[in-house]
Structure 1
Amino acid sequence: MQANSRTSSAAGWAVIAVLFAATTCVESMSWTQLTAYTPLYLRELHVSADQVPGWIAAMSSVGWILALPLAPFWGVLADRYSRKLIIVRSAVLEAVLFGGWALSTSPSMALLFRSLSGFVLGNTGVMLAMQASTTPRQRLALAVGIVGAGSPAGRALGPILGAALVHLVDVRGMLLFDAALSVAMAVLLMVVVRESDHDRPEDLRVLSLLRGALSEIVSKPLVWRLFLATAITQVGTWTIFPYVPIYIGRLAPDNPVTAVGVVLSAVGLGQAVASPLWGIAMQRFGHVWVLNLTSLGAAAALAATGLSHSLVVFALALFVNGVCAAAILTASMAVMASTVSPERRGAVLGQILFPFYIGGVIGPLIGAVAFGAGQTVIFGIAAVLSLAPLVVLLTLRPRPVPGAA
């Protein structure tokens, strides 16, 4: 039954891959726009300049705080009930969130809608699991590559498109545009995606599925080390990321909207191009060598960003950091895709972004405290934390060589 279902759906795997890529592109684009122009949005809500960093910290963290306890369950619920339903859920709630932000009249009301982001997350791993269940084995790497290209493409497109929209229809118009795109993606997902049978564990109880997924992760030293390294680096990323638009605005006071859009889109484009190239490099040189190199590169770039007082230098250093940072997610996805059991695919891959949620909770709070200490301090903290892959992987014992004495 499952074999026939897989064969019948194989012809449409490319359509599903492109649709999932478009979904993640719209999601990434919208969230990048929201983050990039939150300082401007808060000023439109009459928040004073000295209170903006505190509101940014609250809005950046609140959704992640709600996401943390929910994150382990989305992949499990997808395997237990419906992968398609879990994916569509994200698009629908994103439309509500962006629409709510567009209509909010106070920072407290905006914070309430931002908290809905905790119920939006958790669809990336489920999409990968569903793609794997409908794609011929010989095409799976290509399909995952297509789906994986959506998020960095959205990060590249989002800020510059957001700048154009802000100039045309202001921040609220941009948010309504994002809400409309999310509605369109939800409709397309409902109409186009057909959920077929997939391998399921014998025990379908939710908590049992979750225990099985976590046991599989913990049992693999490389996997849990990558989880730990990703979590630490994401704390560093989210320590600076919500506040980067403020620093760009200070360096380009004459046209901060366009400057934010150009710089952040360039960073996103660099990550989009670098991700598949890091995958190729890992195949040739191994993930340990690549992650050690990129950890050092990211730390140096962040240190340079903290010391820069020129927009060009700031942007170039931020670009280099983004290129280096792309390596760790590529490594995590590649390692997990090659080691996950088919019957636990949704549950295990559903945890792949859990370290990002941890970073999203802790990082903005550290950033809010460090912001007052100055640019050098906040980027210095991120630089130190970016060394996590290097430190964590140095503790990984090499695999014994078969047949060695």
Structure 2
Amino acid sequence: MPYWKALVWFLTITSVFMSASYTMLVPFLPMYLIDELGVAQSDVNIWSGLIFSISFLISAIMAPIWGALSDKKSHKAMAVRAAACLAISYVWGGFVQTPWELFAMRSFQGFSAGLWPACLAIMTSTAPREKMGWCLGLMQDGSTAGGVFGPLIGGVLAEVFGMRASFYFAGAALGLIALGLIVFIKGGEQKKVVKTVEKKKSGGSMKLLKVPVIQRMLFAAAVVQLAVMLVQPVLPLYIAELQGSMDNIVMVSGIVFSVVGISGVFAAPMWGRLGTNIGYRWALYVALLGGGIFGVVQAIPGEITPFVIWRFVGGIFFAGIFPAINALFAENTLPSERGRIYGLSYAAQQIGSVAGPILGGLMATYWSNSIVVMAHGFVMILLVIMLYLKRPKNQDPGSGETINVESDSAEETKTA
């Protein structure tokens, strides 16, 4: 088996563990604050907001820094660093006794961020260009699958062993990832593809930010993440409205959250192949438009069953968004710039993660939960319209062929 093919399967398994470790804990943090750390129920929303947001804010600052170090040193070294630090943070979370200690743990977790961008940099620097869409789709598939099974695993662990056991389990999973990266990833993988001429052409993060296609994709990544997080604070309450009661709301909400991931597990590889065939830009347009339309449609039914069905259909389209964005980043950067570009992308997503819940909460306060659900679809529709109007006019958008990095970046900079 070629090394790149073995690598994509290893990184996909890594994505499953990484995503599951996060999602087995985050949905239960408010209950952890109340049951284990003694926070009063009247104060839990304030503490939850602080503890959620601090990690996103710090990771938004640190991600570009880690990405630049990844390009200068080694993608492998940065991936091992992130996995090991995250393992420590999860185990630390199992020992905390006060909300301030949990706040400190989440701050350290934000500082440690960078595992997913480093894995993307490793994969895009190793995979053949004609297989890049399939590889990124498969990795996204793994991340989605972990997001589906994580809350279920966390719920079972909390029920059987207590909530602290979930932290220890997540720490063990990240520790295994760190060991796997040390053993499996070939050291200095980017040095094989970075020649002296590329090093001269490669610039810093500021140079990347001047390339129009990079600007558009970073903006898209932030807006899509904002749209996702926009609906997160209100979804359980909206589900309760649809079913007419709060009965079994935790279990029902878990199922509704999971349907998007379940459809994404099946759809992600298809989007990788579609991007290879028609071009990643057009695949992104289709995914955004479909996700936006069904995001609006799901707010129309007044019953829970059709709402879940439309969320499932919307998940099929949503699964194609980030693989296309990541592939476009890879096509428009040098291998020596992959760590920086995925670090910038991660930072952009963290900004969306901070802004989305705040905006969604304000909209729900002044309007209604259904308006927030509908708005998350409209945001993606507006985004795809903007991207289409701003598309480069000097390329064949449907060829599916790889864009020449140097000539495309230079041409786009001239026409910006």
TM-score range, shorter chain: 0.7 to 0.9
Question: Which residue of the partner structure matches residue 19 of structure 1?
Answer: 10
Q: Residue 4 of structure 1 corresponds to which residue in structure 2? A: none
- Cα pair 1:227 1:355 within 8 Å, conserved: yes
> Residues 187-211 of structure 1: CA distance to partner in whole angstroms, max 9, x if unpaired?
2222332303334475999xx9995
**1:253-283: CA deviations, max 9, x gaps?**
4434433433323221222222222333444
Give TM-score scaled by structure 1 length.
0.82
The one-letter amino acid of 1:356's match is Q
Residue 5 of structure 1 is matched in structure 2 by none
List structure 1 segments (4+ residues) > 6 angstroms apart after TM superposition: none
Judged with a 3 Å threshold, the aligned counterparts in structure 2 of structure 1 residues 246 and 162 are, in CA distance, closer, same or farther, namely: farther
Taking only the aligned residue pairs, the percentage that are identical comes to 26
Note the 1:2-17 alignment, pairs <5 A.
Answer: 11-17=2-8
Pick from 369, 373, 378 the counterpart of residue 362 of structure 2: 369
C-alpha distance in 2, partners of 1:64/1:99?
Answer: 19
Matched, 1:57 2:53: no
CA drift of 1:30 comes to 1.6
Q: How many residues align?
A: 390
Q: Distance in 2 between matches of 1:66 and 1:210?
A: 27
Partner of 1:345: 338
Secondary structure, in 3 states, of the residue corresponding to 2:26? helix
CA distance, structure 2, for counterparts of residue 343 and residue 311 of structure 1: 48
Counterparts of residues 394-405 of structure 1 (less than 5 Å): 394-400=388-394
CA distance in 2, matches of 1:106, 1:30: 22
| Contact in 2 for aligned 1:57/1:367 (Cα 8 Å) | no
Is 1:117 equivalent to 2:109 in the alignment?
Answer: yes
Alignment of structure 1 residues 316-395 onto 2, 5 Å: 316-373=309-366, 374-395=368-389
| Counterpart contact for 1:288–1:393, Cα < 8 Å | no
Tell me which amino acid in the other structure corresponds to 2:387. Answer: L
2:162 aligns to what?
Answer: 170
Deviations 1:19-47 (A, max 9, x none): 22222211111222223223333332444
Instruction: Determine the C-alpha separation between the residues in 1 that align with 2:356 and 2:5.
Output: 37
> What is the alpha-carbon distance in structure 1 between the residues aligned to residue 290 and residue 131 of structure 2?
33
Are 1:239 and 1:367, in contact at CA under 8 Å, matched by a contact in 2? yes
Which range moved further: 27-36 or 209-218? 209-218
Query: Contact (CA 8 Å) 2:225, 2:353: kept in 1 or not?
Result: yes
TM-score normalized with structure 2 length = 0.80
In structure 2, list runs of 5 or more residues that go unmatched. 397-416
Counterparts in 2 of 1:93 and 1:242: CA distance versus 1, 3 Å: farther
Following the alignment from structure 1 to structure 2, what is the Cα–Cα distance between the partners of residues 136 and 300? Answer: 34
Residues 307 and 375 of structure 1 are in contact (CA less than 8 Å); yes or no, is this contact kept in structure 2? no
Give the aligned residue type for 1:364. Answer: P
- The amino acid across from 1:96 in the alignment is I
Q: Which amino acid aligns with 1:231?
A: A
Give 1:66 shift: 0.8
Q: Any conservation in 1 of the 2:267–2:319 contact (CA below 8 Å)?
A: yes
From 81, 86, 93, the equivalent of 1:101 is 93
